[in-house]
Amino acid sequence: MLQACSGEKNTENSSNNDIIDTLSTVETGTIITEIIPESDPIYIMDTLEQRLIDSGLVNIEAIIPGILTDVRYSDTNNFMKTDVYGHLNRVYLQPSVAEDLKKCQAKLKEIDSSLTLLVYDGVRPRSVQQFMWDILDMPIGEKVKFVSNPKNGSLHNYGAAVDLTIAYTNGVVLDMGAGYDDIRKIAYPRHEAAYLDSGMLSQQQIDNRGLLRDVMRSGGFWGIQTEWWHFNRYSRDKAKGLFNIVE
Ligand SMILES: [Zn+2]
């Protein structure tokens, strides 16, 4: 999987912004449930989230102590400048993948209890990925740098991949030398040594990425060469045999 996630905060691409300006929100489903826990602000569950639950996926915050989330695709703070998740503001994964992620969180806490995993994205329904694919107005060769082709299905579609970083428990993230969804080569793990040599990445930034890789490895996850934040728990073949794509 060459590009599992998406792209950088794409301020330079005006053609995208033109398209996206016409699409301020995405219809992800009819609101069917409104839950108002006593101590929480209003949380609205829509049919998209209900579909994840019906597919057997789990809300990671319900099972992983202390884990933080920042669902960028449920906000306009992403490379499309568009909220593609609507009311969905939680991260869902396959139960076994969430259990393995719990091991990674425990490992990180063992190393430094002031740190926590902070998750940007887990399962990404294929319909949402298709929407992201459709609104990017560019040749396919460029498009795949931002979003993987929904036709192929991605490990995010199965709920078997996760995008995340490390933060302090107050939510301040460690410096990884490039932001989430940054498509510049400085975000590529495979170019870290060259960027260290040129002085564009510091040893501390590379060590922070290394810490993330180490704790993820402890739960059976592995990274990819082009995104420091993306980790798979299964190969695509294995995921295909175990799970269904969440449409
Ligand atoms: Zn990803």
Distance of CA 245 to the CA centre of its chain: 16
pTM greater than 0.95: no
124 closest CA partner among 214, 1, 226, 246: 246
**166 Cα to the center of ligand 1, angstroms:** 15
Q: Whole-angstrom Cα distance, residue 15 to residue 83?
A: 18
Sketch out the chain's domains with CATH numbers. Answer: 1-36 (no CATH), 47-242 (3.30.1380.10)
Confidence of residue 147 (pLDDT cuts 50, 70, 90): confident
User: Ligand 1 mean position to 207 CA, how many Å?
Assistant: 21
Tens of pLDDT along 109-122?
999 999 999 999 99
> Which pLDDT tens digit goes with each residue over 120-136?
999 999 999 998 898 88
CA-CA distance, 143 to 177, in Å (whole number)? 24
Whether the CB-CB separation of 133 and 199 falls below 8 Å is answered with no
Q: What is the mean pLDDT of residues 70-83?
A: 87
Residue 26 clears pLDDT 80, i.e. is over it = no
Q: How far is the CA of 221 from the centre of ligand 1 (A)?
A: 12
Give the pLDDT of residue 120. Answer: 97
Query: Residue 84 — pLDDT band, cuts 50, 70, 90?
Result: confident
Mean pLDDT comparison of 137-141, 149-153, 226-230, highest-scoring range: 226-230
Instruction: Tell me what pLDDT residue 40 has.
Output: 54
Report residue 85's pLDDT band, with 50, 70 and 90 as the boundaries: confident
Q: pLDDT category, 5, cuts 50, 70, 90?
A: low
Instruction: Outline where the chain has alpha helix (H).
Output: 14-21, 47-54, 60-63, 95-111, 126-135, 140-143, 155-158, 192-198, 203-217, 236-242
Rounded Cα–Cα distance for residues 115 and 121 (Å): 19
Cβ proximity of 44 and 34 under 8 Å: yes
Straight-line distance from the first to the last Cα atom of the chain, in angstroms, rounded to the nearest whole number? 19
Between CA 31 and CA 43 the distance in angstroms is: 11
Q: How far is the CA of 161 from the centre of ligand 1 (A)?
A: 6
- Centre of ligand 1 to C-alpha 109, Å, is 23
- Write the DSSP symbol of residue 83: B
Helix axes 14-21, 126-135, angle to 10 degrees: 120
* 176-206 per-position pLDDT tens digit: 999 998 989 999 999 999 999 999 999 999 9
Mean pLDDT for the chain overall? 85
Ligand 1 midpoint to CA 18 (Å): 25
